[in-house]
Structure 1
Amino acid sequence: MSVNAVRLPVHEAGRESSSQSALSECVSRTVRRYLADIGDTECSEGLHALVIREVEGPLLREVMAFHEGNQSRAATALGINRATLRKKLSQHGML
């Protein structure tokens, strides 16, 4: 498990292993619910693209807020370079 991952208490882990991080469990639960809701209907942009699009914006917003708008510190926390962060912020209308 990575240093920043949080383990779910066993009673909240449900069907998943208690070693799964809270973030991973949240994604698993949400994807299961989404797939159950759409059934056999195909996602026009592809499920991977949909999840990345839906997750990346809030991730960037939260990391930028945590680092009080400091792009260099936010980029370091995200493990990407500052130019990549700026590109992603621009794509999400956050610049």
Structure 2
Amino acid sequence: MNAVSVLRPEQGLDTAVSQPALRECVARAVRRYLIDLDTQQAEGLFDFVMHEVEAPMLHEVMSWYGGNQSKAAMALGINRATLRKKLAQHGLL
């Protein structure tokens, strides 16, 4: 059984509580992708997964912080300029 905490902006990330459910979701998605490939060789899987995960993560974090890039960047552990670059790359600006 996985416990999932609801993270609030004022809370720190409690990796012991919040990550198991996320890890499990990612593991299932990657496993499903590999099963769907069947006998084909997977190529560029790391970049593919990172690209697929990054856009929705950025969207959700920006929504959570009401579009405040400074707060979102702080929550993500990146600087605001990097956040803006990533938002632009994903068409989220």
Mapped contact 2:34–2:42 kept (Cα < 8 A) = no
> Any unmatched runs of 5+ in structure 1?
8-19
- Residues 70 and 56 (structure 1), Cα distance of their counterparts in 2 relative to 1, 3 Å cut: same
The structural deviation recorded for 1:39 is 1.9
Q: Is the 8 A contact 1:5 1:22 kept in 2?
A: no
Deviation of the 1:41 alpha carbon: 1.5
Equivalent residue for 1:55? 53
Which residue in 1 is equivalent to 2:24?
25
Please say if residues 61 and 72 of structure 2, whose CA atoms lie closer than 8 Å, have aligned partners that are also in contact: yes
TM-score normalised over the length of structure 1: 0.78
Match of 1:65 in 2: 63
Q: TM-score, normalised by structure 2?
A: 0.79
After TM superposition, the runs of 4+ consecutive aligned structure 1 residues lying more than 2 A away are 4-7
The Cα of 1:5 is off from its aligned counterpart by 5.2
Stretches of structure 2 that go unaligned for 5 or more consecutive residues are 1-12
What secondary structure sits across from 2:17 in the alignment?
coil
Residues 14-58 of structure 1 deviation map (CA, whole Å, 9 limit, x = unaligned)? xxxxxx6100000001111110110232345x0001101100000
Higher relative contact order (CA 8 A, sep 6+): 2
SS in 2 for 1:85: helix
Provide the identity percentage: 60
**Separation in 2, partners of 1:73, 1:43:** 37
Identify the residue that residue 12 of structure 1 maps to in structure 2.
none
2:85 aligned partner: 87
Alignment pair present for 1:6 and 2:17: yes
